[in-house]
A and B are shown apart, each in its own frame.
Chain A
Amino acid sequence: MSDLTRLHASDLAAQLADGSVTSVEATQAQIDRIAAVDGDLNAFLHVDAEGALATAADVDARRAAGESLPTLAGVPIAVKDLINTVGQPTTAGSKILEGWVPPYDATVVTRLRAAGLPILGKTNLDEFAMGSSNEHSAYGPARNPWDTGRIPGGSSGGSAAAVAAFEAPLALGTDTGGSIRQPGAMTGIVGVKPTYGGVSRYGVIAMASSLDQVGPMARSVLDAALLHEVIAGHDPRDSTSIDAPVPSVVEAARRGDVAGLRIGVVREFAGEGFQPGVQRRFDEAVAKLADAGAEIVEVSCPSFTHGIAAYYLVMPSEVSSNLARFDAMRYGLRVSPDGNPSPSAEQVMAATRDAGFGDEVKRRIILGTYALSSGYYDAYYGSAQKVRTLIAQDFTAAFEQVDVLFSPTAPTTAWRLGEKSDDPLAMYLEDVCTIPANLAGVPGINVPIGLADDSGLPVGGQFLAPAQADERLYNAGAALERLVPAPVLEEVVR
């Protein structure tokens, strides 16, 4: 038998459907793979072998009984530990939620269960999804399988590392400022941030409510589309969920044709700060798209360069409010202040939040508290909300000229652990290409475009499309994937 862990989800699904392999076999293979490599990767915070195998056995039994099953039934998946799962801890990568087991499933998890996907476990992340490197996890960083001395990107670094290292064929991530696409780029896999409102946020621990979105991570564009179709669609429990049919992403991923497609290259996403090896791979990808019949148009989106400034006001403001509920009263960690035998609730809250939150979380809470405080609201939060509008207007203008935008996903390839830890602002600047999509609510995809010739590490290209036109991402992404095959990891590089 070939190595089941190396199969794309679509191929595994086909083999499950024709009976040549069982879900229990496929799931067990992933569990064995996790046991073999996760000591080096720390991609998983929790592995639920028993639960995953039970789901797999159930799917196998139903299939044997002749039941008609959803496409991905029996294909195992890893879930970012920001997404609530009954029966498995959900920590958000934070000490403040250590050991917390949610009493309810996120809607996306309910949909995974209904579609018969065995859930292998929960993946590592920057604490509360705040970071671009996974170094802000309270449980130690996940590592990049291309070089375990390097970061896998973040915040969905655990999901990215797990998929890239064949620990899982599929994973769920969340993307608030690039947290699916950027780790996708760093580890050489596909990752999609759907249109805001396209996938339910119910049961997904909120970082920044107006920016967060759950999305698929996989080793092929088609796999991502298949997973997208499982999790997307209207959810009455999420008031920001779009009540409209899910874009036909699977069909688009199967089509993958850029002939006649107008592709806009964003002028602002090049030059200073962009690693030459990244730029070269990107330019080659553009050339190949042109060869395949795409019309390449240079477009300017001047407001995009202000995305980081707006993002680092909007996001921390919402963070400061969303994370207020972690107060030691109803769930999670409770810490008493030192040397106080009879502390008040207020003192316990403050001590717990100091002990339970990491530096990056505290930094953003304080920043957001400042941005919202009276006297500063208009200058900071209010202005940032207006910059969002300017960015959205740039998108609207661009999409009048072109069908999709194309840019590098991240300006650099994966950096060494600790390399940027002392300079939060430098880390923030890594998100320059991904943030505008979150601010405007439009969808984006990372597609691997080879290894950089200067670092030997994966490079990602990003397509962006208008809101609710997610299928354009899959069409362009699938075409690019054929033109520029994704780099294949032979073995984890220790």
Chain B
Amino acid sequence: MMKGIVKRFPGVLAVDHVDFELYPKEIHALLGENGAGKTTLMNVLYGVYRADEGQILINGKQVRIRNAVDAQSNGIGMVHQHFSLIPVFTVKENLSIGLRDGGFRLNLNQIKLKIEEAEEKYGIEIDIDKKVQQLSVGEQQRVEILKLLFRGASTLILDEPTSSLTPQEVVNLFKSLRALQSEGKTIVIITHKLYEALDIADRVTVLRKGKVVFKAIKEGLTPQALTEAMIGRSVELSNYKMEKVSSRNSLIVEGLSVMGDRNEEMVIGASLEVHAGEILGIAGVSGNGQKELIESIFGLRASKGGRILINGHDITKYGVKGRIKAGLGYIPEERKTRGAAISLSLSLNSVMHDHWGQPYLTRGAFNYKAIRKFAREIISSFKVAAKDESVPARDLSGGNLQKFIVGREMMRNSSFLMSVNPTSGLDVGATEYVRNEIVSYRNKGGGVLLVSEDLDELLALSDRIVVMYRGKTSKPVERKDFDKLKIGAMMLGEGFNS
């Protein structure tokens, strides 16, 4: 149990006098929007941060948790959103890290036995001789969980465990979690997906702006009640006003072939056409060439063959800058490493795609007044929670940073916008906000190429959907013919001859 926890960051009160109780053998969902303080609160419990106020009690006894080792010795383990496995080590080697018994020499055989025992007990299956880099995200997560169990954790904290899992993997994860629960483990899952919370949790605590706003046991919970608790108001889900826009402008990709990082052809003769005033969705299981396709269209990755045209203008030979100037915008999935330079201020981040000309560069010199003004406009029009435009981008929570990036790309003069998983990791409120902005960009006559792993998102937003499978593109499916099952089957290869 945590009592009166307060954690401040420069300019923000991240966790504000929170009381949080955890009972043995329960699955507890910690729900809230981005930046609500969920992860921060759990990081206090796990010793990553130290609370400015408040105390932590275990079985009524006050304990002091200064670091992860303290947490582990109290039986608390945490799987962060970004895993801490060593990619070039095998599963077995990764699991043996930090095990104290056995002295200097690693007894890998003994570890193997222990792993097999654990696998059987908790129903977790994994090939322990594989290197971690060869595993899927879901498998890596299982390794992380095993690692905690190995270190004797009785309470497991999982931070957004489903954010990068396929639906099937989510089902498996939840199965494992229930098995762990029946073995006597206590589990906290941090999430902003309310249906998941409803699905798995015995109890739910909702945080908003650093405060506990709602606590309840599973019985008698409704999605509406949870949504309201999370964002303080009810939202309409997937009801978008798609206006008819007529324009001849288009972004055309013809027979594009692109090599991937491992020197294999990841995009094979892909073709598609995005009209002005439409959203073209790209559906597909992650890893079927979507990433390479988008990077190649933006000029970040060389193409091996094919052409890219904007409004009839061939941009295939252009660099990134030339393509941006030709009217292309891009909201990358990698917010913190690509979409923003996180050590720089929001002002400097606001001109990432406009730093070569008027009004921000006048006669060769940066016009900081104009730049700051633009950054402030983004912050206010897109409701970015930031102290001001001078704070470094890294001070923003994931959702706020995404709003800032979306705002920047939308407020620029672009005619086509590419967006990859724009709402991944965002809470309900921010998701709705971003989706509405994408639709309004379309309604204003912009063309959007939307890549998403969330099929519901694509069905809700797209005018047409193209499916990518093993580097190839399908014929577009019109909105009137949208059928979740059919598109789902195409994502698994139906209609593609290989």
Mutual binders A and B: no
Q: What residues make up the interface of A, taking CB atoms closer than 8 Å to B? A: none
Q: What residues make up the interface of B, taking CB atoms closer than 8 Å to A? A: none
